[in-house]
Amino acid sequence: MKTIITSYINDSISEADLQRLKMWLENPKNQETFKSYVKLNNELNALQSDFNSELAFEKVSKQINQKSNNRFGGVTHLLKYAAILVGVSIIGFGVYNNFISTNPMADAPKITLQLEDGTIKTIDEVQNTIITDSIGNTVTEQKNKQLVYKNANSESKTLRFNTLMVPYGKTFAVSLSDGTKVTLNAGSELTYPVEFIENEKNRTVFLNGEAYFEVTPNKEHPFIVSSNDMDIKVLGTKFNVTSYKSDNKTFTVLVEGKVEAYSKLVSENSKILQPNERVFFESDSLVTEMVNVQKYVAWVKGELLFIDDSFKVITNKLERKFNVTIINDYKELDAMMITATFRNETINEVLKTFQTYKTFKYQINNGVVKISKPDTK
């Protein structure tokens, strides 16, 4: 069985051996073995400087045999844990260069803030600092992964805008001057006033990408999110807007409260959303449907949640989440439907999990993931 596990890790397992592995995992003792094996990744990493695959396996195996025999989930979940083990082995030892030769996040772009005067500020996510303009005036305060704007109660009658840009592979939040909190997903851009002013009827922000809004109520000054093909009018609520230009479609999902969505493409076309509804523009009209909102807001907590999503849709999200480019030469995968949840897994671990749905090959090189059809055996 050690040979079969090794071939699984090395992505060279045959269909027959894969079935043997699944049958082997039906035994609760074997399931516990897999679980314990994954938990010992720190032990594996300790061997990095002088790695011998046989020695490492034997050392880990001895410790595994000392563990209890509690039942551990199902076979599919175990293969996911095996996938995590693969990720540990690849990253810890660097011995499977056909999978990953570089860290795709090593040269990741930075979060930036463009000020009203055109100055571009680079945001260090772990800092607590005051951000000033070109002449030294305070613009906002950074508290780790969030910018905090304050209402200065100025008498200005002119709006001044900042633009927060979040690259692929990152998320970031901003607390606007009215207390509204906006969390931006990877590959997103938000333009907003430094301070909302009294002589403006609406509190308007402009979104390209995806963001989760927690809006401070103000009936006298409705909150407006202006996206590519839709405007969303809010009094006070929590909702998610997805409006990437590359997707050519805007989706709004309401978590709580009430919002009104307006189409920019067709006049006098609007929809009022209730909680757990999603709205989008299709065939010259706005369409609403009931949805599981957790699927659309899980990213705010750092999770990837897929519920009956196609592989093609998922790859777009993976590109943004991990700052990679995915080239899929195995088109049969596009229609594959997947239900899965990921939290702290790497792109390598995620793809290994997907291989338990359908066999395929992949390589990761310089931030490019190339997926191909498996070799016939």
Q: How is the chain split into domains, by residue range?
A: 1-96, 111-294, 303-377
pLDDT value for 307? 95
Q: How confident is the model over 205-212, as a mean pLDDT?
A: 96
Q: What is the pLDDT of residues 153-202, one digit of tens each?
A: 767 778 899 999 999 999 999 999 999 999 999 999 999 999 998 888 99
Q: How far apart are CA 211 and CA 173, in angstroms?
A: 9
Residues in Cβ contact with 308 at an 8 Å cutoff, skipping those fewer than 6 apart: 337, 338, 339
Q: How far apart are CA 141 and CA 147, in angstroms?
A: 6
Could you tell me which CATH class the domain 111-294 is placed in?
mainly beta
C-alpha separations of 3 from 48, 106, 253 in Å: 21, 33, 48
344 compared with 89, residue with greater pLDDT:
344
For range 356-374, the mean pLDDT = 94
Buried b / exposed e along 304-314 (16+ C-beta atoms within 10 A): bbbeebebeeb
Residues 6 or more apart whose Cβ sits within 8 Å of residue 125: 111, 144, 145, 170, 172
Report the top-level CATH class of 303-377.
alpha beta
- Look up residue 111 and give its two tokens: 């979060």
CA distances from 152 to 149, 156, 301 (A): 9, 10, 31
* Higher pLDDT, residue 51 or 278: 278
280 bridge partner residues: 251, 287
d(CA 228, CA 245): 7
* Separation CA 72–CA 32 (nearest Å): 6
Q: What are phi and psi of 322, to 5 degrees?
A: -105, 5
